[in-house]
Amino acid sequence: MIGRIGLADAARHWRIALLAAGLALGGAADGAWADGVKLHIACTATTDCASAMVARDEGVFAKHGLDVDMTLIGINTNIPPAIVSNSIQIGGPTETVFLQAVDGGLDLVAIEGASKMDPVANNLIAAVARNGVVIKDAKDFVGKKVGAPGIGAFLHVLFRKWLIDQGVDPSKVNFVEVTFPTMSDALKSGAVDAVLTAEPFISRMQTAGTGTVAVRYASELGRTEPIISYVTTRSFAEQNPDVIKAFRASIEEAAAIVNSDREKASASIAKFTHLPLEIVRLNRPGLSEPKLKASDFAWWIDVMKQQDMLQSQIDASKLVLP
C-alpha cells in the first residue's frame, strides 16, 4: 500500500476517524466485557508488540482468564480508529500516533507499555535506500521520495527529528505511506527512493538485495523513550477493570519472557508477522517494557510540537491509566 499524504492530510485523517468512530460506536457494545467474548488486540508487523504475541502463544493470556485474538494491521495510524469503533479493544499505536489521536479528540488511554528505545533497539531502525540511490548524509534526502509505515507514526516523526537536528527541512522530503511487508517491493520497483523501517525487514531487504542501509538515525538520536504502548478507550478501561488487571499481569509476565527467551520471542514474532523465522532470529526483538508513566511522553510531546503535529495542550497526566 503506497499513498501520498502530508501533515495537513494527517490532521484531516484524525477528524474523519473521529467522526467515523463516533458513528460506529452508536452500534458498538459499550458495557462491561462479557465472559467468553474474545478480546481483540491489533498491532503492526514489528517486534514491538512481542509481549502480546508471546502472551497469546505461550498461554499467558489464557492463564489470566483472557481469550485473545491478535490482528495484524498494515498502517499504524489505522489503529486508533479501530479501537474507538470497537473493531478491536486494545491496540499498539506508536506514541506519536497515540498522541495525535488524543490531540484529535479520541478519548484513548495507555494501559501498559509495549516497547521502548534502547541502544540495541535503536540500532535495529534505519532508512534503507534502494539500489542506485546514493545517500551519504541528511541533505541527500532532499527531493527524495521516502516511504514510512504511517505518516505521523514513530519512524516518520523520529526521522523528521533527525533531519531537523541535521539542519534539513523535513518539508523538502516527499514522504509517502508504505506498509512494512511491501517495502522491499516498493524499493525494487522504484516506487520510492528509500524507506524508514526496522528489523526484521532490514535484514529481509538486504537478503533480497533490494536496498542498503543509508543511516541508522535512531542510533544517532540515542533516545530511551517508549515506542509503543497498549491503548484502549477510557470507557472500556473504566468499565472493565478486571480485564485491564488481567491484561497488565499477562503483559508483565510475557515481557519477561520476550527479554530473556529470544527463541520463544522470535517464534511468536514470526508467527504474527508472517516473516521467515530464520530472518526474525537474526536480531534481538525490541526491548519489552511494561512500565509506563505520564512523564515518558514529555519528550515526544515536545518533538511533535516542534514539528507542528499537535494543535492542543495535551494533559500528560491523563494519558496513562492509574
pLDDT confidence tier of residue 2, bands split at 50, 70 and 90: very low
Task: Please give the grid coordinates belonging to residue 199.
Answer: 528489523
**Among all chains, which residue has been given the C-alpha cell 494501559?**
111
User: Is the alpha carbon torsion for 43, 44, 45, 49 positive or negative?
Assistant: negative
Q: Given a cut of 60, is residue 10 above it in pLDDT?
A: no
Of 21-25, 43-47, 288-292, the least confident: 21-25
d(CA 131, CA 139): 18
Instruction: Give the integer Cα–Cα distance in Å for 181 and 310.
Output: 29
Cβ 229 vs Cβ 114: under 8 Å: yes
Band of pLDDT at residue 34, cut at 50, 70 and 90: low
What local confidence, expressed as pLDDT, does residue 314 receive? 96
Pairwise CA distance, residues 91 & 87, whole Å: 10
32 against 180, higher pLDDT: 180
DSSP label of 318: G
Nearest-angstrom CA–CA distance, 91 and 207: 31
Looking at residue 27, its pLDDT comes to: 37
For residues 94 and 228, the answer to whether their CB atoms sit within 8 Å is yes
H-state helical runs in the chain: 7-25, 50-57, 60-63, 79-84, 95-103, 119-122, 154-165, 183-189, 201-208, 217-221, 234-239, 241-260, 262-273, 277-280, 298-306
List domains and CATH numbers for the chain: 2-116+225-318 (3.40.190.10), 120-221 (3.40.190.10)
60 pLDDT more than 70: yes
What whole-number percentage of the chain has pLDDT above 90? 87
Cα 16 to Cα 3: distance, rounded to the nearest angstrom: 17
Each residue's pLDDT tens digit, 249-306: 999 999 999 999 999 999 999 999 999 999 999 999 999 999 999 999 999 999 999 9
Handedness of CA 170, 176, 180, 186 (dihedral sign): negative
Rounded-to-5 percentages of helix, strand, coil across the chain: 50, 20, 35
Mapped onto helix, strand or coil, the DSSP state of residue 198 is strand
Residue-wise pLDDT for 125-176, tens only, equals 999 999 999 999 999 999 999 999 999 999 999 999 999 999 999 999 999 9
Instruction: Please report which confidence band the pLDDT of residue 38 belongs to, taking 50, 70 and 90 as the band edges.
Output: confident
The Cα–Cα gap between 208 and 185 comes to 10
